[in-house]
Structures are given as structure tokens and as C-alpha cells.
Amino acid sequence: MSISYNALSGALAAQAALNTVSQNIANAQTKGYTRQGVLLQANAGDGSGQSPGNGVQVGSLLRFSDSYKSQQMWRAASDMGNHSQTQPYLTQLEKVMSDDKSSLSYGIDNFFKALNAAGVDPTSTPLRQQVITAADSMSQQFNSIFNVTANQLISVQQQRSAILPGLNESVAGIAKLNQQIIAVGAGGSNTSALIDQREQLIDSVASQVGVEVLNNPDGTATVSLKSGQPLVVGNLSATLAFDTTSGVQQLNLTFAQTTFKLDDTKVGGQLGGLASFQENTLKPLQQSIAEIADQMSAKVNAQLAAGFSAPGVPGAALLVFNPASATGLLQVSTGFKTSDLAFSSDGTPGDSGNLQQLVAIKGQPITLTSLGSLLLGDADTQLVGKLGIDSQQNQAQLNTATTVRQQSEDDWKSTSAVNTDEEGINLIEFQNMYQANMKVIAVAKTLFDSTLQMFG
């Protein structure tokens, strides 16, 4: 009977192992699946000193997972999300602002070229008209590029808002799975599939915001932002939402009826990357474009007012700067005529004293909040250069994050992914184990029958 019991326990253990192998092979291509195994242990004796003779048992079901490698994957997902969402915006801005025919520099240079050309004959109506035409063209280029930044701002805000529903759903899903894992684990059932689902959701959340994950002894996972605010604790989950009552998007996190105000430029992931781009690149660039238009138009208009378009007639304002206008940031004054150009410094026809002062404005300094003091003629070049550096740095960081993510996935797979060759070997080994134990049972039956015949 002892032989039969030992062999039966071995056959049952082999069956459990074969079941696990079949599960692994079936899920070899399932994304996020963590391979499983069985831990076989010899049955302990009863402590009487007799030979145990109690066969083998499945000590536990194994889940081949490395918490450190999972954490590395999630950190890399956050870094990728941070840089991947902003790169298309940076690339578009860089392309538009550095274009030979649509840049601010092109418009400014053409305007001052027209002023220079007018110096040949300050009284020439065609040359004067060319100045007005160049001013209008320059204004349109300012407006066009400013509109690109305005449209990007709207797009970024919409994209940030669109992230939140899916993020909140994933966070709630993690909390629900925590609850299910506790319930299923209490019943003695395998929770590996539920843990896999939870880790998939954590990976999704990590791409949207940077997270810290703590695995608890009861099987639950506690998830929080890097700044410490809780996202998931047990079966409780947080909700993220934007508050726009002040006219500015304020990201808030609400957990257990407590609301935290977040600095969304520091939350990491896609949400943090978009916020950082908006606050540290897009808005400063938009402000700089407006500052160039404002200061240049003020200098040109002030210089025109210092000259005369005719004896005793001071010059009129050529440019109108109005950031609140629906028709554009910069415009040529309505009804401005060639005769309104005050090229003369004393009112004498043909005098170009004030015209030369207008030409000199290009070499005068202006002050930008983002770059400090610089010459008007160099302002756009400096902006484009800074934008190019930002774009290159972001692309380099994105490439690094992508590489790290791929390496961390490979590391995770080396521990947790299914190797079909290895599972094939396991399949043969446990099949042989099962067949061998069944043969032992057959031998035990033969011996038992022989014993009975002795007393027949």
C-alpha cells in the first residue's frame, strides 16, 4: 500500500506539473503573461522515526517574477511617455520657425531690406509702397507662427484632458484586481493570471504618469505618484481631474475624499511631459514671439513719430500690436498710405535722415523674458537655436528611454517569459515522471494480487 500511495502522489504531482506546462505553452504569445511552475516537495514523516514513505506533494505553485525588473520596465515606460508625446510638437515648431520662406527672420530681413532700398530715392512711391508691403508680409509671418503656437497650446491641453479618463479607469482597475486577488488567494486558488492583469494596468499607468509600486504581503499592490500622493491602496483608488475655474488647468488628485493639488510638470509620463513642454517651451516661445512683435513695432512707430512725412507733419504709426486681436498679433495700420511714411528728419522732401534711423533699428537691442537682452536682428535666430537644442535633447532622451525600455523588457522576459524549448523539455520530463509512477502502481497491484493468492 505504501508503494501504491507513493506512486499515486507522484502521478498526481506529475499531472499538476503537466497542467502548468500546458498553461505556459498555451500562453507563450500572450502579452504580459508570467510563466508558472510547481515546487515539488517530499512528504514529511510523522515524526515516529519510521521511514516516511509518504511520497511527493506540490509544495506551492510558482510565479517566475522579479519585482526589480518589473519596476525597471515601469520607470522606462514613464520616461518614454514623457519624451514621446512632446517630440512631434517640437519637430513641427522647429520646421516652421526655421523655414527659409516662413521664418520671422525672413519677414524682418525683408522689411529692413525694403527700408534700405527706399534710401535710393526716399520720395519714390513704388519704393515706399514696397516698405508697406514688406511690413504687411512680416506681420502675416508673425501671425502665422504665433497661430501655430496657439494651436499647439490648444492641442496639448486637449491631449492632456484626453489622457485622464483612461488613466482613472486603469487606476480603478488595479484597485478592483487587488480585491479579487485577496478573495481568490484566500480560497487557495492560483492568482497568477489576476496579478498579470494588474501588472499590465500598472504598465499602462506608468506610461501616463510616473509611479512607485509596493507589493504587499497580502498580495495587493500599493501604487503612488513619485511625489508620494496615493493612486491605489488596497481596494481604494484615486481620481485625477483638471480644475479650470481659474482659467488655468490645475491638475488635482482626489483620494478618500482628500484632494491634492499637483504640479503636473513633475508627475512624469505622458501627462508630465506634455505639461512640461507647455510650461517650459511652448508658452515661453509664444511669449517671446509676442515680445519681438511688441518691441519692434514700438521702436518703428516711435522712430516714425520722430520724423516727418511732410513739412510740419509728424509720421504716423505703421504697425499695430494687439495680442488680443482676433485678426492677428501684428498688423499694418488701417488706411496707412505711402505718404504717411516719415523718412525725413526735418520735413524736407528727399531727406532720408529719419529713414536711416529706421534702418538702424534692426541692430538695436530688445529684451526677451526667455533669452534676456539681444539685438532685434538676432532674436529669431536665437529662438530657433534654443528650440533646436530643446528638440535635439528631447530626441536624445527619447532614444535613451526607448533603449532602456527595450533592455528592461528583455531582462523581464529572461525571467518571466515562456521559453517554448524549455517547456518542451519539461513536458517530456513530467510525462516520463507520470508514466513511471503509473508503472509503479501497476507493479504494486501485481505484488498485492500475489500476496492475496498466498492466503487463498
Q: What is the pLDDT of residues 239-278, one digit of tens each?
A: 999 998 877 889 999 999 999 999 999 999 999 999 999 9
| Mean pLDDT, range 445-453, rounded to an integer | 75
Answer whether residue 50 shows pLDDT above 70: no
Band of residue 1 on the pLDDT scale cut at 50, 70, 90: low
Residue 341 backbone phi and psi in degrees, to 5: -70, 120
pLDDT-above-90 percentage for the chain: 77
Strand-pairing partners, residue 432, are none
More confident residue, 49 or 97: 97
pLDDT at 143 (0 to 100) = 95
Q: Give this prediction's pTM.
A: 0.87
Strand-pairing partners, residue 310, are 313
How does the average pLDDT of the chain come out, rounded? 92
The radius of gyration of the chain from alpha carbons, rounded to an integer in Å, stands at: 37
| Mean pLDDT, range 58-81, rounded to an integer | 91
Q: Which stretch of 136-145, 246-255, 279-288, 332-341 has the lowest confidence by average pLDDT?
A: 246-255
Band of residue 52 on the pLDDT scale cut at 50, 70, 90: low
Report the SS3 class of residue 98: coil
Here the cell at position 381 is: 535666430
Band of residue 46 on the pLDDT scale cut at 50, 70, 90: low
Cell numbers 520720395 correspond to 123
pLDDT at 4 (0 to 100) = 82
pLDDT at 48 (0 to 100) = 47
Contact 23, 62 (CB under 8 A): no
Band of residue 106 on the pLDDT scale cut at 50, 70, 90: very high
